[in-house]
Amino acid sequence: MKGLVIAGLSSLVLGGFFAPVNANETVAVISSMEQNNTAYLSPVNLVSHGRGGTFSEQGIPGYIRFSLAIKSGKINAESLVNAAIEAGRLSSEVLNDSNYLSNVQFELSQVDND
């Protein structure tokens, strides 16, 4: 009896894995995943990308000059976020998120403490 129950449950579970998927649903999921990857970087990752020179084409210097630009006030949270938006790494909606900007500014303040 236990064997039949286990076999029945197993077939139900496996049947769910092999159910046909609509191609449009697959494309929608992939498209959504791509948008999420492009539209969001955590504040830590954003600053890390800035430090590594990812946004040099947008006027954000990398490496030691990144740190010097923070100290001189040439780079702040808004300028770094704007560069990431211009590079297609962040959604423009992030500019309206004061919590995100605050976290980016905090991460920028930690660059010299590393």
Q: What pLDDT digit, counting tens, does each position of 66-114 carry? A: 999 999 999 999 999 999 999 999 999 999 999 999 999 999 999 976 5
Is residue 7 assigned to a domain?
no
What domain range includes position 75? Answer: 43-113
Q: What are phi and psi of 61, to 5 degrees?
A: -70, 155
Is residue 107 assigned to a domain?
yes
Is residue 12 assigned to a domain?
no
Confidence of residue 27 (pLDDT cuts 50, 70, 90): very low
Is residue 103 assigned to a domain?
yes
State mean pLDDT over 30-40.
Answer: 52
Query: Is 77 in contact with 69 (CB distance < 8 Å)?
Result: no
- If one compares 24 and 47, the residue with the highest pLDDT of the two is 47
Average pLDDT of every residue of the chain: 80
> What pLDDT shows up at residue 39?
63
How many structural domains does the chain have? Answer: 1
Is residue 11 assigned to a domain?
no
Is residue 51 assigned to a domain?
yes
In whole angstroms, give the CA distance from residue 18 to residue 5.
Answer: 20
Lowest-pLDDT range of 8-12, 21-25, 107-111: 21-25
Is residue 106 assigned to a domain?
yes
- 28-31, long-range: CB < 8 A, 24+ apart: none
Is residue 75 assigned to a domain?
yes
Q: How many CB atoms lie within 10 A of CB 45?
A: 14
